[in-house]
Amino acid sequence: MSWVYIISDGTDIKIGKANNPTRRLSELQTGNKNQLSILRLIKTESEKDAYRIESTLHKIYSQHRLNNEWFKGEIFADIQQYSDEELHLIATLELKTEQELINIITNLIKTGEKIYFINVVKALEYIYPTFNGACLRPIVDNNFIFNDDYSLGIKNE
């Protein structure tokens, strides 16, 4: 198990990964004049998964990068709109076939997770500037419904 963490110094945030985020916070605190705190932890099954999510967040928010893994703190509210499950999904989308993507979204919905189409498209457009979210729409329309809160639901169930 590994973690993606978002740590704040009160102004800016650091997006990183660690097997022990509490120890990592302590290491970062050494030599930092500002009090650091963990704002969010995203649990992953492996270091590889943590790396994918960390890299995805770095790509999405690259225009807000200050230095290495430090970003403008104003982006934290935007990051919060993504559930852990959506971040896992977004981080692995480029590795999936259409059917695998349908299966992943279906399984997440069946476990009670809310997946918002707009969040997935927005993140992919950040990561891949030439990505056109319209290409996902037929997949969604053929396999899912939009609930009243605009989250995706399973069609024909």
Residue ranges covered by each domain of the chain: 1-73, 81-157
pLDDT in tens, the chain (157 residues): 999 999 999 999 999 999 999 999 999 999 899 999 999 999 999 999 999 999 989 988 888 999 999 999 999 999 998 889 888 888 877 656 667 767 777 777 787 778 887 777 777 776 666 666 677 777 788 888 888 887 888 886 5
Which positions ≥6 away from 81 have C-beta within 8 Å?
A: 119
What pLDDT, on the 0 to 100 scale, is given for residue 75? 94
Q: What is the CA radius of gyration of the chain?
A: 17
Residue 64 φ/ψ, nearest 5 degrees: -110, 10
Report the b/e string of 126-137 with b at 16+ CB within 10 A: bbeeebeeeebe
Q: Where are the beta strands (DSSP E) in 19-142?
A: 37-44, 65-67, 70-72
What pLDDT, on the 0 to 100 scale, is given for residue 119? 79
What pLDDT, on the 0 to 100 scale, is given for residue 94? 61
Alpha carbon distance 125, 148 (integer Å): 24
What pLDDT, on the 0 to 100 scale, is given for residue 3? 98
